[in-house]
Amino acid sequence: MTTYAHVAQLISRIVLGVILIAHGWDKFQITGLEGVTGFFDSLGIPAAAAAAPAVAIVEIIGGILLIIGAFTRVTGIVLTLLMLGAAVFAHLAQGIFVTNGGWELVGAIGAGTLLLAGLGAGRYSVDAYLPQRGQEAPAERELQNA
């Protein structure tokens, strides 16, 4: 993979991570869990009182993991499923445009996290220094081969 591709992965991880952290933080500090729980309840989301803080925590922790590039493939899958759930429960019926409550934002985030789940975090990440199953860390291999 080229340096450009690794930099693109880094920038994508940072942007997606910041967006997710902001949305998780909003659920705790701006809208508040009571408001989010009421919204989830109005959508028919099961166990809304448990789902609201769980979603906020997943968004914050997932965002942090994306930014540092740790456990990116698993994090990407979890976040993609979260965005799919958000689309199905809250946004698909509203059309595409976010100004009408549509799915474009969760769709873009979901597509980005799915891409990271498939490609991984890239060279500029914690994952690059973690050994893969039965192998030494990819970054160590690159240094040895340089």
The ranges assigned to domains in the chain are 3-145
pLDDT tier at 146 (50, 70, 90 boundaries)? low
pTM comes to 0.88
Non-local (6+) Cβ contacts of 144 within 8 A are: none
Residue pair 91/103 in contact (Cβ under 8 Å)? The answer is yes
Residues in the chain: 146
Reported as a single tens digit per residue, the pLDDT across 126-140 is 999 988 776 665 555
- Alpha carbon distance 131, 19 (integer Å): 29
